[in-house]
């Protein structure tokens, strides 16, 4: 995996030293493809998993966690389940894994639900159409016709 320092060295060699892509690839022992990528963007891409990691210990308990989190969403804010509380409930049900796995799963699930909430109609940027508006500015009456107002 390439670091920010590698990208900095590549960009410095190209923009400051004036070296060609081929020379940079030869000197820094990187592919020309990576050199072009580093010149196109200042920082390397974040690492992304191609598929989720298997969780053999947590997998049988995921439906229970989902159920608890859905129930938690309906509770008042101060009464909601925390990751620790969910872990304790799972431990009583026979879960033998780590608390960190439960926390990570809850956090990932909450990020997904937050993202879907943002895409709900309440968060859409819709506009309201008005035919005309009259307002006073500096003791003059101004009229504007046919414009859009944001819906709040």
What is the per-residue pLDDT across 36-70, written as a single tens digit (0 to 9) for each?
999 999 888 888 888 888 889 999 999 999 999 99
Residue 49 lies in a domain: no
Burial call 133-147: b when 16+ CB within 10 Å, e when fewer: eeeeeeeeeeeeeee
Whether 36 and 63 map to the same domain: the answer is: no
The 10s digit of each residue's pLDDT in 71-88 is 998 999 899 999 999 999
Domain extent for 113 = 59-121
The total number of structural domains that make up the chain: 2
Together in a domain, 21 and 65? no
Q: Tell me the β-bridge partners of 137.
A: 140
22 in the same domain as 68: no
Query: Which residues partner with 68 through β-bridges?
Result: none
Q: Is residue 133 part of a domain?
A: no
> For residue 47, is it within any domain?
no
């Amino acid at each position: 995996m390439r670091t920010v320092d590698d990208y900095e060295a590549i960009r410095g060699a190209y923009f400051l030293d004036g070296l060609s892509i081929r020379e940079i690839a030869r000197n820094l022992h990187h592919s020309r493809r990576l050199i072009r990528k580093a010149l196109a963007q200042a920082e390397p891409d974040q690492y992304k998993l191609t598929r989720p990691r298997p969780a053999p210990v947590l997998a049988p308990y995921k439906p229970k966690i989902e159920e608890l989190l859905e129930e938690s969403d309906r509770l008042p804010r101060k009464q909601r389940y925390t990751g620790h509380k969910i872990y304790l409930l799972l431990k009583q049900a026979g879960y033998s894994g780590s608390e960190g796995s439960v926390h990570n799963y809850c956090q990932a699930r909450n990020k997904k639900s937050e993202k879907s909430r943002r895409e709900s109609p309440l968060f859409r940027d819709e506009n309201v159409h008005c035919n005309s508006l009259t307002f006073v500015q500096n003791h003059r009456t101004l009229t504007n016709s046919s414009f859009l107002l944001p819906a709040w």
